[in-house]
Chain A
Amino acid sequence: MTSLNLEALFQSKIDEETKIEPKDWMPDAYRKTLIRQISQHAHSEIVGMLPEGNWITRAPSLRRKLILLAKVQDEAGHGLYLYSAAETLGANRDDLVQQLLTGKAKYSSIFNYPTLNWADIGAIGWLVDGAAIMNQVMLTRTSYGPYARAMVRICKEESFHQRQGYEIMIAMAKGSPEQKAMAQDALNRWWWPSLMMFGPKDAESSHSDQALKWKIKRKTNDELRQQFVDVTIPQAEYLGLTVPDPDLRWNEEKGSYDFGEIDWEEFWSVVKGNGPCNKQRLQARNKAYDDGAWVREAASAHAAKKEQRKLEPQLETKAA
């Protein structure tokens, strides 16, 4: 078959909603786009462990501590799961991790913001996981099979995280004046970065059209962002907190909220590496990797020796 035919067949599969599987023919650009997107998602899970991990030792109750530990652990699991999905496309986990460590690969900018008070852990669950879910629910129907299936599993855990985050916000917003102030402070800092998670406006998004045609994405950035705002504002109202947007109002005619303009200068600045924690996040990942090098080397050396001993049982007494 000519590559033109292959491409037509590929697109017809997509059009009739047949999932693309690892061994199927796919255009190089489709493969590359998916590797980029899935690995960015994996990196985001791994870097995302840092701002939340920052509060594990200070969680205010044993119950909250357990929930937070379990949540950060889930994120490590999601990271591993997503790296595996990327490997089904021919990528290699070590290479992908290297791209993260050298700063070549991107991850979600949201994790370049600091967690400053306990309510941030609530706000991350509520807003950041909430925004992620909008995106990920869409991705459960993405055209690439392994990615779609990974998303089904991840979405279940993410929605659990979001509920737990909102539960923290409820406790704080209905608590003492100091707790309410923490909750408001967290909302003030996380609101706009959460809206930025959906990416540039449709008019300026470089990857959007092709991704929609290939059904990697099924909704545009702006559609998802609007959906998020519409779902989240009533939740903020229930908490009795003020969303830090003077232009926010209900638009009766379109049946959804109008909201103010995102500070795109800040958005691009954080993407380019100038967010409050970009450097610290990469440093932390690099430190973990460098400090752990001797452990990984020892583990493979031991595995090799063990293999060797199996082959020469007469020379070595077997390790227990």
Chain B
Amino acid sequence: MMNDSLIKYLLQLADNALILGHRLGEWCGHAPEMELDIALTNIALDLTGQARSLYQRVAELEGIGPNGARKTEDDYAYLRDAWEFRNTLLVEQPNGDFAHTIVRQFIFDSYNYYMCRALTQSRDEWLAGFAVKSLKEITYQLRFSSEWMQRLGDGTEVSHTKMQAAIEELWTYSGELTTPNEVEKEMASKGIGVDLTKIKPEVEAKMAEVLTASNLTAPAGIWMQTGGKDGKHSEHIGFILAEMQFLQRAYPGQEW
């Protein structure tokens, strides 16, 4: 079942991008500065665009289903339920204040950058191409969140306190990103997916570097929550889906 694992792997990548993009979209019009409205929306656009490419690829691989129809990108975003979503727990966490949004983004970007860089070497030609294309966007994202980590960690006492609090709250979701599940292990062993054990030191070094420069500290030796990649989510996912999927669920099968 080679394709089955590949599909699951692609959905993990896609769902991370979709759900984080969705969360960032919630900021639109409410950010601390107009320039930040534009920047956060940019990232939301890039992530949602990445999700689209990945869902389209999954639809292609799945081909014609038992009902004789081909799935579309929207079927994956709008017609799956919580347990079928394979995003990590981190990206579904609420925006909170701007400190939470930046810490969440930074943790994700640190992983996503090194993951995507390694993915450019994938034996799967499509995935390698996707990674090359996305790496530019993700490089910008990591730069954006790293800079804001430093601004807010270093800025004022208030901002420092808020950032440290956000780190304490969100750090428990950082481990899942670099802890491979069965799908990731299989894909890595075939040279298709990224070997997370290999990029883990790079991710951690980057995080440590930026945290130090930001005068912030990661909590040591804490429990790391996992499960999202295998469909075991936090309670937040249900509300995200209820909102996101409302129209497709209330009026099924329509063109919009």
Does A9 belong to the interface (CB within 8 Å)? no
A86–B78 CA distance with the chains assembled, in angstroms: 43
Residue numbers in B under 8 Å from A172 (CB-CB): 256
Is B156 a contact of A57 with CB atoms below 8 Å? Answer: no
Does A103 belong to the interface (CB within 8 Å)? no
Is B162 a contact of A73 with CB atoms below 8 Å? Answer: no
A46–B34 CA distance with the chains assembled, in angstroms: 8
Is B45 a contact of A69 with CB atoms below 8 Å? Answer: yes
Residue of chain A at shortest CB distance from B255: A171
Is A73 a contact of B45 with CB atoms below 8 Å? Answer: yes
0/1 interface trace, chain B 235-246, chain A, CB 8 Å (1 if under): 000000001101
Interface of A is mostly: helix
0/1 interface trace, chain B 166-195, chain A, CB 8 Å (1 if under): 000000000000000000000000000000
Does A192 belong to the interface (CB within 8 Å)? no
Task: Give B47 Cβ to nearest chain A Cβ, in Å.
Answer: 10
Residue of chain B at shortest CB distance from A83: B34
A48–B85 CA distance with the chains assembled, in angstroms: 33
Is B78 a contact of A61 with CB atoms below 8 Å? Answer: yes
| A interface residues, tally (CB under 8 Å) | 48
Residue among A50, A57, A297 making CB contact with B25, cutoff 8 Å: A57
0/1 interface trace, chain A 57-70, chain B, CB 8 Å (1 if under): 11011111110011
Count A/B pairs, Cβ under 8 Å. Answer: 148
Residue among B25, B33, B38 making CB contact with A77, cutoff 8 Å: B38
Does B3 belong to the interface (CB within 8 Å)? no
0/1 interface trace, chain A 300-318, chain B, CB 8 Å (1 if under): 0111010000000000000
Residue numbers in A under 8 Å from B36 (CB-CB): 292, 295
0/1 interface trace, chain A 170-193, chain B, CB 8 Å (1 if under): 011001101100000000000000
Is B28 a contact of A73 with CB atoms below 8 Å? Answer: yes
Interface of B is mostly: helix
| B interface residues, tally (CB under 8 Å) | 51
Task: Give A60 Cβ to nearest chain B Cβ, in Å.
Answer: 4
Task: Give A303 Cβ to nearest chain B Cβ, in Å.
Answer: 8
Does B125 belong to the interface (CB within 8 Å)? no
Is B32 a contact of A57 with CB atoms below 8 Å? Answer: no
29 contacts between A and B (CB under 8 A): A56-B28, A58-B243, A58-B244, A60-B254, A62-B18, A62-B51, A69-B25, A69-B28, A69-B44, A69-B45, A70-B45, A72-B28, A73-B42, A76-B29, A76-B37, A76-B41, A79-B34, A118-B247, A118-B256, A171-B256, A175-B254, A176-B251, A288-B29, A291-B30, A295-B159, A296-B33, A298-B156, A301-B154, A305-B154
Q: Which residues of B contact A (CB under 8 A)?
A: 18, 22, 25-26, 28-38, 41-42, 44-45, 48-49, 51-52, 55, 73-74, 77-78, 97-98, 150-152, 154-156, 158-159, 162, 209-210, 213, 243-244, 246-248, 251, 254-256
Nearest 7 interchain pairs by C-beta: A292-B32, A298-B155, A298-B159, A49-B29, A53-B29, A60-B247, A295-B32
Question: Told that A62-B73, A179-B251 touch, could you supply 7 new A-B pairs with CB distance under 8 A?
Answer: A56-B25, A58-B243, A168-B256, A171-B255, A288-B32, A298-B159, A302-B150
